[in-house]
Amino acid sequence: MLTAVILAAGSARRMGRLKQLLPWQGEKTILETVVRTVLACPEIDDEVRVVLGAGREKVAPVMEAIAVPRLVIVDNLFYQRGMLSSIQAGIAALPSVSMGFALFLGDQPLLEPDLVAFLARQWRRTCPDFLVPVYQGRRGHPVFVSKKYVPEILALADTDGGLRNLLRRHSDLVAFCQADSPAIYIDLDYPEEYKKYRPKGRGGQ
């Protein structure tokens, strides 16, 4: 089985406001769009964990309203330490049936269910230690990681460079999968990116 970990704990300083709850399309927020995309992927058949931190009191009710039993909220009390702390919170105590996890960014609402399903099938079919999607030479997310690396990730310190350095350390075990969309590397950090990519019409801008 495959667990999803969605990172959504950041304070979004570059956006200037809590981007997890920015409207995306219709009544859906950015984060809700990502979560529903992941939930719609049958190949991700274990828990879908959403790691919250900044603005937790506002974001959690939106997640709870989705009301899907396998959607689990994980609190990162140390989110100000950066992304590694959220990854560690998200992968702690993975279900025993899980073979690994797929790491998503909570500000990638352009990801489509078909693309996520394609990548998940590739990981399940070939079972590499790591699988990284690539579009026109650029790497992105979700990144798939075998469960056997959880102890090593939990032992990382902030000075170790996080998951990126872990992949460098095990570069001979990293498989790359060609994606058909730039959505794997488009995340929304700045207001101009949000304005550029937000869907037009039908509840968008």
CATH class label, 2-197: alpha beta
pLDDT number for residue 161:
81
Task: Tell me the two tokens of residue 65.
Answer: 């309203």
Strand 100-105, strand 143-146: pairing: antiparallel
Phi, psi angles (nearest 5°) of residue 156:
-65, 145
| pTM of the predicted model as reported, rounded to 2 decimal places | 0.95
What one-letter code names the amino acid at 198? R
- The DSSP string of 115-135 is HHHHHHHHHHHH--SEEEEEE
Cα distance between residue 185 and residue 23, in whole Å: 20
For the chain, domain boundaries: 2-197
Phi, psi of 103 (to 5 degrees): -100, 120
What is the DSSP pairing of strand 130-135 with strand 138-139?
A: antiparallel
Strands (E), 40-173: 48-52, 71-75, 100-105, 130-135, 138-139, 143-146
* Residue 31: exposure state from Cβ atoms within 10 A (0-12, 13-18, ≥19): buried
**What is the structure's pLDDT at 204?**
53
Per-residue pLDDT of the chain (205 residues; tens, 9 = 90+): 999 999 999 988 899 899 999 999 988 999 999 999 999 999 999 999 999 999 999 999 999 999 999 999 999 999 999 999 999 999 999 999 999 999 999 999 999 999 999 999 999 999 999 999 999 999 999 999 999 999 999 999 987 888 999 999 999 999 999 999 999 999 999 999 999 999 985 445 4
- Say whether 185 sits in a helix, a strand or coil: coil
**What token pair was written down for 137?**
């030479």
